[in-house]
Structure 1
């Protein structure tokens, strides 16, 4: 069953639900401004091919006390929910019908900030993780490809105030990215809420 009436055409072995304008424009503007101002952004460094590189975006991890999250060789211990993030979580839980105990905030300052190909398939997310992705600010293209393939199978534009939900077997069979772009684009904030089922 689809969460939203205007869901995307279904890809095989995936469940994607998308709603443009999930959040009313005035609230989207207000949330974006407040989150950018109050979040203690960090830029972790990851080791690739024997060298350390800064991740190409700013990040912050919030969650319940037990929601420690490990990805890309980094361990993220949660900051406590702010009043605004607690409000957003409550609204998202009502929308997706599932408890969510952690949120990764990604701040894309311009088109040179990006997220490389990956799947959200860490063991602490469980067998069929649900990822609720709230998008605020500039529109960026979101690409999907089959695991083991190089060709982009599907792309969509993630707009201000939109919500994308990935669930079911999606992370087993698909990877996604937000690629760099030379096109002018406004700063973008992406909040991905999830349920951490176990800790490292």
Structure 2
């Protein structure tokens, strides 16, 4: 079965407040994106890696690869004006009739290998494998009247990536017109009337978007809780 991973990093990372986009910042001695690509490559070196970044960043990324002697094979694809468009651009490069594809945030470098493996197994069996984690805190729902009400936290999950799918189904799902309700790839898949299958993610699989996230990532690495 052909396997691919679309690593999406099309944003500018303005919340980081750094002179360069968050996906290129070093963590543990190398840019975030390189760490993310490496974990998928180490799971299975045959996985076709597709890196979606702004087209204007291609030369900068290639210079970083030279600087860090990064030689893991991957295909560069220009991102779109939204995450939906960036993912679709990545999917469009895959011409296989059958296969599996993991879609993953480029700024989640601490996903565990077993989560990636589980997502591929579940997608092969049921069509999709979406990484989620349970909530630790109590939650409340805000109403239009300004009042709030208690919610059973065990009824909810926090959604991560990878979100892995049968290629034929997710490519069909992304042929529709983008709507605001498409907050991730699972919602695009569900729009076709298909039920998604959830798998256990890992707590360390944070999305690095702020300086605090970057500092926490460095802490995880120093404590040996992430690789």
In the superposition, the TM-score normalised over structure 2's length comes to: 0.26
Which has the larger helix fraction? Answer: 2
Larger radius of gyration: 2
**Structure with more contact order per residue of length (Cα contacts < 8 Å, sep ≥ 6):** 1
Which has the larger strand fraction? Answer: 1
